[in-house]
C-alpha cells in the first residue's frame, strides 16, 4: 500500500455547443469512469454543459431552462466523487458563468466567475453578471480553490485570495481558452508563476475542440508549488488525466505558505464549503503522471490546430464530404491535404477548372497531388461558360478593354460550379484563400471566396509555405509536388499573371500585415521601422478597403493572436485615413 492521497481526474472535453442532452450524457459517462477509477474529484471545463461559447443562445430563456434541467440530471448521477462542471447558473434572473459542485446526488454549491473577459473574441459581459466571492472547498485534509479561466490570468485576485486567505492547497481552474500560436507556452509560464506566488498546486483544465472560428487545444496542466510540471493533458485531443496528490505534500505546502503575503482585499472573503470526504490509501500501480509532449515547431502546432478546427466544423455541422477547387497552386494544395488528413481521402472531392489562361501545370500538378492523396479529381473546363458570359456582356462592354471584370467572371464561374456540386450532393465547399490575400482584398467576392469554411483564413502566405514543407517532411517525400511549392503564385486570370504584379513580395507583405493588422500599428510607425513608405500606405489602404469583402467571407480558423472577424472589428463604412 502507498501513502494516503487525493485522486483527481481532469477531463479535456469536446462538447458541441447547444447539444445539451449529448453533452450531459458524455459528462455522466466520464463521471462513471472516474468513480470506477477511485477518483475523489472529477472536473470538466468552463461551460462544458452548454459548449463554449454559447453566445446569444444565452438570451433564450428556454435554453437556460433546458440547461438547468440537464444539470439536475448530472447532479442526480453524482456519487462520492465530487464533480465540478462548467455551466450557466441563474439567480434572480441573472446569469453567471459558473462551476457547479455536484456531490452525492445533488448540487451542493456553485462558484461564479469573477473576471469576465470582454476583449478579443470574448464578450462575456453581454451575457453574465460577475461573481464577487472566491470559493474554497474544505475536504478536511486539504482545501481546493475553484476558479474559472480569466480568474487565474488576473494577478493578485481570485486565486491568491483562495490560497493565501482561504488556505487552498490546490487551485483548480476550469477554462475555455482558445488557441493561438505560442499560447501553450504562455499558459505554462502563467501557471508556474501562480503556483510559486501562492505556494499551492495549480490544476489548469482546458476545453478541447473546434467551435466556428475558435479552436480549443486542451493541453491541461498540473503544476507543483515550485513550478515543476506534475502532469499534462494531450494537445488537440480529448483526454482523461488522472493525478494522485499525496496528502503529506499538502501539509508541507501549508507550512511554507504561511510565510507568504496575502493580496490586498479587493474581493469578498473566500467562502468555505465543507465536502464530506475520507482519505484513502491507494494500491500500488497508481497512474503515472503524463509528461507534457513538446511541440517540435510552430508549423506542427498550427497544422494540428487547423486539422482539429476543420474536422470539428465539418462534422459538428452535419457534413460528411467536402469539395474544393484544386488550381495547381500552393493554397488549394495545402487545403486539400488538410481535408484528407482531417476527414479521410474518401470524404474529399477535388475539382480542377482550367481556363484559357491556365498553365499546363495547373492540371498536371493537381492530378499528381490527387494521385498522391488517393482522392477523386473532376475536371470541369470553364471556357464554354466564360465565352457565354462574354457574349452576353459584349454589347454593354463594347469599347472597353478587358480588365478585372473579365478576370473575376472566371473566379465566379468556378464558385458557381462548386456551389452547384454542394447543392446537388451535400458537400461543403472549402475556401482556399489565405490571410495575406484576404487582408488586402486579393480575392473575388462570390468567386474564390464562395464556400462554407475557410481553413487558411488566418494563415499568412509565408506560413502556407512553411506548413507545406512541414507536411512533406512528415510524409517523407514530396506529398505536395515540388512544382506546386516552387512555382510563382498566380491567380491565372490573365496571360502571364503573377501575384507580385499586384502585391509586394509575400515576405514583405506579411511583415507589414502583422504590424498593421495584429499589432494595430499605424502606417507612420511601420515606415519608421524601415519599410518603404509608398508600399506601407498602399497596403494599409487595401486592408481598409477590403473590409466589406471580409465581412461577407466564410468563417475560418483563428491561429494568430488577432484574427479577422470577432478579434478585429472594423467598420465597413470608414473614412478615417492616417495623414
- Which residues are bridge partners to 103 per DSSP? 106
- Residue appearing with cell numbers 477518483: 39
Half-sphere exposure of 273 (CA within 13 A, CB side): 20
Per-residue cell: 510: 506579411
Strand pairing report for 322-325 and 348-352: parallel
Q: Is 113 a catalytic residue?
A: yes
Q: Which residues have C-beta within 8 Å of that of residue 218, sequence separation ≥ 6?
A: 12, 206, 207, 208, 233, 234, 235, 236, 237, 238, 239
Q: How far apart are the first and last CA of the chain?
A: 75
Q: Choose the catalytic residue: 5, 39, 46, 124.
A: 46
CA pair distance 130, 418, nearest whole angstrom:
47
Instruction: Mark 532-569 as b/e (b = at least 16 C-beta within 10 Å).
Output: eeebbbbbbebbbebbebbeebbbbbbbbebbbbbbee
Q: Which residues have C-beta within 8 Å of that of residue 392, sequence separation ≥ 6?
A: none
Per-residue cell: 151: 480568474
DSSP 56-100: GGGG-HHHHHHHHHHHHHHHHH--SSEEEEEEEEEETTEEEEEEE
The CA angle 194-44-286, to the nearest 5 degrees, is 80
Q: Choose the catalytic residue: 83, 87, 113, 549.
A: 113
Q: Is 46 a catalytic residue?
A: yes
Q: Choose the catalytic residue: 83, 149, 443, 468.
A: 149
Q: Is 83 a catalytic residue?
A: no
Among 569, 562, 566, which residue's Cα sits nearest to residue 183?
Answer: 562
Angle between helices 330-343 and 298-316 (to 10 degrees): 60
Q: Catalytic positions, please?
A: 46, 113, 149
Amino acid at each position: 500500500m502507498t501513502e494516503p492521497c487525493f485522486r483527481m481526474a481532469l477531463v479535456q472535453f469536446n462538447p458541441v455547443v447547444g447539444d445539451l442532452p449529448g453533452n450531459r450524457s458524455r459528462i455522466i459517462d466520464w463521471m462513471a469512469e472516474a468513480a470506477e477509477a477511485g477518483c475523489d474529484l472529477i472536473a470538466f471545463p468552463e461551460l462544458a454543459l452548454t459548449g463554449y461559447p454559447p453566445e446569444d443562445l444565452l438570451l433564450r430563456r428556454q435554453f437556460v431552462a433546458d440547461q438547468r434541467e440537464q444539470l439536475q440530471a448530472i447532479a442526480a448521477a453524482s456519487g462520492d466523487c465530487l464533480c465540478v462542471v462548467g455551466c450557466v447558473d441563474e439567480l434572480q434572473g441573472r446569469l453567471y458563468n459558473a462551476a457547479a459542485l455536484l456531490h452525492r446526488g445533488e448540487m451542493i454549491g456553485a462558484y461564479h466567475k469573477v473576471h469576465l473577459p470582454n476583449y478579443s473574441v470574448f464578450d462575456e459581459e453581454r451575457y453574465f453578471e460577475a461573481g464577487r466571492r472566491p470559493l474554497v472547498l474544505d475536504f478536511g485534509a486539504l482545501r481546493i480553490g475553484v476558479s474559472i479561466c480569466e480568474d487565474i490570468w488576473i494577478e493578485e485576485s481570485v486565486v491568491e485570495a483562495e490560497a493565501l486567505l482561504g488556505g487552498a492547497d490546490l487551485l483548480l481552474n476550469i477554462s475555455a481558452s482558445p488557441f493561438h500560436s505560442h499560447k501553450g507556452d504562455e499558459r505554462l509560464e502563467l501557471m508556474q508563476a501562480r503556483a510559486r506566488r501562492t505556494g499551492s498546486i495549480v490544476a489548469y483544465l482546458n476545453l478541447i475542440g473546434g467551435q466556428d472560428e475558435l479552436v480549443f487545444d486542451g493541453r491541461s496542466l498540473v503544476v507543483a508549488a515550485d513550478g515543476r510540471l506534475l502532469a499534462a493533458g494531450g494537445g488537440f485531443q480529448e483526454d482523461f488525466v488522472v493525478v494522485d496528490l499525496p496528502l503529506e505534500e499538502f501539509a508541507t505546502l501549508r507550512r511554507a505558505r504561511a510565510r507568504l503575503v496575502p493580496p490586498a482585499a479587493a474581493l469578498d472573503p473566500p467562502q468555505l464549503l465543507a465536502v464530506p470526504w475520507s482519505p484513502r490509501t491507494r494500491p500500488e500501480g497508481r497512474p503515472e503522471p503524463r509528461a507534457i509532449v513538446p511541440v517540435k515547431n510552430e508549423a506542427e502546432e498550427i497544422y494540428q490546430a487547423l486539422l482539429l478546427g476543420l474536422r470539428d466544423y465539418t462534422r459538428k455541422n452535419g457534413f460528411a464530404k467536402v469539395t474544393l477547387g484544386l488550381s495547381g497552386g500552393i493554397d488549394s494544395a495545402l487545403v486539400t491535404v488538410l481535408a484528407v488528413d482531417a476527414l479521410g481521402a474518401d470524404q474529399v472531392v477535388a475539382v480542377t477548372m482550367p481556363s484559357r489562361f491556365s498553365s499546363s501545370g495547373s492540371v498536371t500538378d493537381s492530378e499528381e497531388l490527387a494521385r498522391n492523396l488517393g482522392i477523386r479529381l473532376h475536371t470541369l473546363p470553364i471556357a464554354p461558360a466564360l465565352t457565354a458570359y462574354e457574349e452576353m456582356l459584349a454589347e454593354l462592354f463594347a469599347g472597353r478593354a478587358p480588365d478585372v471584370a473579365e478576370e473575376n467572371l472566371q473566379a465566379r464561374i468556378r464558385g458557381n460550379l462548386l456551389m452547384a456540386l454542394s447543392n446537388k450532393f451535400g458537400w461543403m465547399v472549402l475556401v482556399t484563400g489565405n490571410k495575406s490575400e484576404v487582408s488586402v482584398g486579393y480575392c473575388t467576392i462570390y468567386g474564390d471566396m464562395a464556400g462554407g469554411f475557410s481553413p487558411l483564413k488566418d494563415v499568412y502566405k509565408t506560413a502556407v509555405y512553411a506548413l507545406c514543407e512541414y507536411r512533406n517532411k512528415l510524409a517523407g517525400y514530396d506529398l505536395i509536388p515540388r512544382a506546386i511549392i516552387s512555382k510563382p503564385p498566380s491567380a491565372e486570370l490573365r496571360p502571364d499573371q503573377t501575384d507580385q504584379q499586384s502585391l509586394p513580395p509575400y515576405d514583405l507583405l506579411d511583415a507589414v500585415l502583422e504590424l498593421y493588422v495584429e499589432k494595430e500599428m499605424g502606417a507612420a510607425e511601420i515606415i519608421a521601422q524601415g519599410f518603404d513608405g509608398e508600399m506601407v500606405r498602399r497596403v494599409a489602404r487595401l486592408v481598409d478597403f477590403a473590409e466589406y469583402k471580409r465581412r461577407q467571407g466564410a468563417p475560418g480558423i483563428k491561429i494568430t493572436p488577432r484574427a479577422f472577424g470577432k478579434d478585429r472589428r472594423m467598420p465597413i463604412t470608414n473614412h478615417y485615413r492616417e495623414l
